[in-house]
Homo-oligomer: A and B are copies of this chain.
Amino acid sequence: MSKVTHDLPPLYIITPTYRRAEQLAELTRLSHTLMLVPNLIWLVIEDAYSTNSLVDDILKRSGIRYHYMIAPMPVQYKNKTKGPRPRGVSNRNKGLEWIRENAYSGAFYFADDDNTYDLTLFNEIRYTKTVSMFPVGLITKAGVSSPIVKNGTFRGFYDGWIGGRKFAVDMAGFAVSVSFFLSRPQASMPFKPGFEEDGFLKSLAPFEPFEAELLASNCTKILVWHTQTKKNEPAWSLDYSKYNNTNLIALKNILV
């Protein structure tokens, strides 16, 4: 389904994921979106100590070129009892490592498994020359996170999330050129909750916010939404004596 068309720059999609009741559903619908995008390589990296055959099955069935890897959160963060943990950072750094070793052109994008993407987005970001930026819908109470653009030029960031950031952008609000990234051998994402994007973009220095390429018709369109799926109860209980030898045993086994 996903055709390799060599006249288009390759697009690397880095998707961190983790095991939860909604995981297979989220990866299923994201796979449908990505199946419609040509010349795409999907890097799916799970915060786990081993891969999961149910995830691999979804990836395989999609027909997309993919690499399924694992990158557990370091134990010092995993065992944190207070405050937020740096979720997805191990995963994304693993994706970045893969790109350093295997890619040389095109662009990459951090695409969480629960967001919603307009197909137009992928057509635009694959041509990123340094770092491109664009609005993300459904972000915090501010409704949107976006560069502020006036007369076609960058004037700052509109973002309802925490202050104190040089790059006040969401993880879904920017894409990076592979060759630009390769020219910054130190670039990586810090294990710093709330400052992952900011820290990663700072690690691409020299690079200033005003240098961002403004996509989505000068940031007047929403091509990605920060949709969040309601959490479901993990591990529903099942009375095995009552439902022995029924299909419910099989269903229980494929759910978290």
Contacts and interface: CB of A to CB of B under 8 A. Distances in A.
A3 interface: no
A254 B221 CA distance: 8
Given A155-B246, A227-B22, A248-B146, A141 B233 contact: yes
Contacts of A135: 247, 251
Contacts of A137: 25, 255
B148 A28 contact: no
Interface residues on A, range: 35 or more
A222 interface: yes
Contacts of A116: 25-26, 28-29
User: How many monomers of this protein are in the complex?
Assistant: 2
A108 B117 CA distance: 27
10 contacts: A29-B117, A143-B232, A146-B247, A146-B248, A147-B247, A150-B245, A155-B246, A218-B247, A222-B251, A230-B230
Interface string A22-66: 101110110011011000000000000000000000000000000
